[in-house]
Amino acid sequence: MHVLGKLERLLLSVAPWLLAVSVLLRTWVLVTGFGNDSMDLRVYWSLAPHVLSGDLYDVVSPHSPADFPLPFTYPPFGALVFLPMTWLFWGAAQWSFRVLSVLCLYWLVRTTLRLVAGQRWTAEARRWRQRALLWTAALLWMMPVFHTLEFGQINLVLAAVVLAALVARDDAVAGAGIGLASGVKLVPAISGLYFLATRRWAAAVWSAVAFAVTAGAGFLVDFEQARRYWFVLFGDAGRVGPIATAHNQSLRGALSRSEGHDVGMSWPWVVAAVLSVVVALVALRSAVRAGDAVIGVLSVQFLGLLLSPISWDHHWVWVGPLLIWLAYGRVARWARAVLPAVWCPVMFLDVIAFQLDRQPTIWTVSRPGWLSALGWAYPAFAVLTLVVVAVALHTPARSRDRVARAARAG
C-alpha cells in the first residue's frame, strides 16, 4: 500500500499534464483514426429541423452508412432540444458538442468523487480535485466514453444531467431534471425509481410532471407527428437499430445473439428481466440503507441499461463512476478486487470492435457460441455488479439505526 500511495502522489502531482496529454491524444485519434465523422451527431444536427415541418419520422440522415439508414429515434422534444445546435455550421457543432461532452465527463467524475469522499473532500480538497483531473484523463480511454465522442452521442451530457438531478436537494429541481432528460431520451425515466427508493415523493411527482410537459410540447408543435411517435413508433426497437449487433449490450441483445433470433419479450427475456429487477432492487435497498448515493444511482442506471431493448455499448458510460466508487467508496475489500478485474478488460480494450470484426453484418443474428458468450460481457458483468453490491453493502437489521444516525450526523 505504501508503494501504491507513493505512485498515486506522483500521478496526482502531474494530473493536469496527464489530462492535457490524454485530451490531445484522443483528439488526434478522433481526427485521424476512424473517420465516422460523428455519425450519430449528424442525425441530430441534420434532422432536428424537421420537427418544425412535421416529417421528423419520415426522413433519414443523408450521412447514413450504406447498410443502415439512420432515422431520428428520440421523442419530438429531443429534436426541439437539438434545434439550437443546427444554427451552427457542422464543424462548429461537432467540436462544440465534443468539448461539452468532455466537460460533462469531468463534472461527472468530480461529482462522483465528492459524493464518495463526503467530509474527506473538505479535509483534503486539493488532493480530491487532482484526483478528478486524473480520473478524467483515465476515463477518456474507457471505450464507452471514447465511442460516445467518436459517434457524437449524448450519453455523457445526459449522465451529467441525471446525476445532478438525483443528488439535488431541491425536489422540484431534482424531478424536473429527470423529467426533462427523459423527454429527450426515454431511458433516464428509470431514474424515478431512485426517488421512490429514497422516499422523495415530491421529486417523483415533479419528474412525472416535467416529462408530461415535454410530451405536451411535442404535441403543441405538431399533433400528428407526436401521436405517431407515441402511439405507432414507440416501442419499435427495430427502428432504432439491429437488435443483435455486438453494439447492443442489453439483455435482449445478448439473448438474441445466443438464441440466434430476436427474442423480443418472450419467456427467456422475461425471466432474465425479472431476475435483473429483483437483484437491482436488493442492491438499491442495500445502497439506501448504507446511505450510499453513488451506488444507489448506479444500481438504477444499470437496471435501465439491462432492460432497455437497445443499450449501445457507448451507453455504458456509467461504469466510469462505478470504478471511482470501487476505488474510494466504503465497500468490502473483496468487491474492490473482483469488480475491477472483470470490468477493466472490457472497458479499456475494444471488445466490441473485436466482435464487430467477426460478425458478417450488423443485421446478422446467429454467430458462433464463443462469440455469443463474449457478447454477454456488459450485461453479465452488470448483473454481477448488482449481486456484489447487494452482498457487500448489506446492512443487518440491528445496525440500521446506527447507520441512520451516522447519515444524519454527516
**Tell me: the pLDDT tens digits for 215-255?**
999 999 999 999 999 999 988 887 888 899 999 999 999 99
Interacting residues of 68 by C-beta distance below 8 A, sequence separation 6+? 241, 242, 362
Q: In 3D, which of 262, 182, 265, 164 has the Cα closest to residue 218?
A: 182
For residue 22, is it within any domain? no
**150 is a domain residue:** no
3-state helix, strand, coil in the chain (%, to 5): 75, 0, 25
The verdict on residue 353 lying in a domain is yes
Q: What are 184's three cell numbers?
A: 429527450
Mean of pLDDT over the chain: 90
**Is 408 a residue whose pLDDT tops 50?**
no
Task: Give the total number of structural domains in the chain.
Answer: 1
Write down the pLDDT at residue 3: 64
At which residue does the C-alpha cell 438464441 appear?
259
Query: C-alpha dihedral over 249, 357, 238, 267, to 10 degrees?
Result: -50
Q: Is residue 173 domain-resident?
A: no
Q: Quick one: pLDDT band at residue 394, thresholds 50, 70, 90?
A: low
d(CA 347, CA 145): 9
Rounded CA separation 319/344 (Å): 9
| Residue 290 falls inside a structural domain | yes
- Asked whether residue 134 is assigned to any structural domain, the reply reads no
Q: Is residue 243 part of a domain?
A: yes
Note down the domain range covering 399.
Answer: 237-410
- The string of pLDDT tens digits covering residues 307-360 is 999 999 999 999 999 999 999 988 888 999 999 999 999 999 999 999 988 888
Range list of H helices, 349-376: 351-356, 369-374
Per-residue pLDDT at 405 exceeds 50:
no
* 155 lies in some domain: no
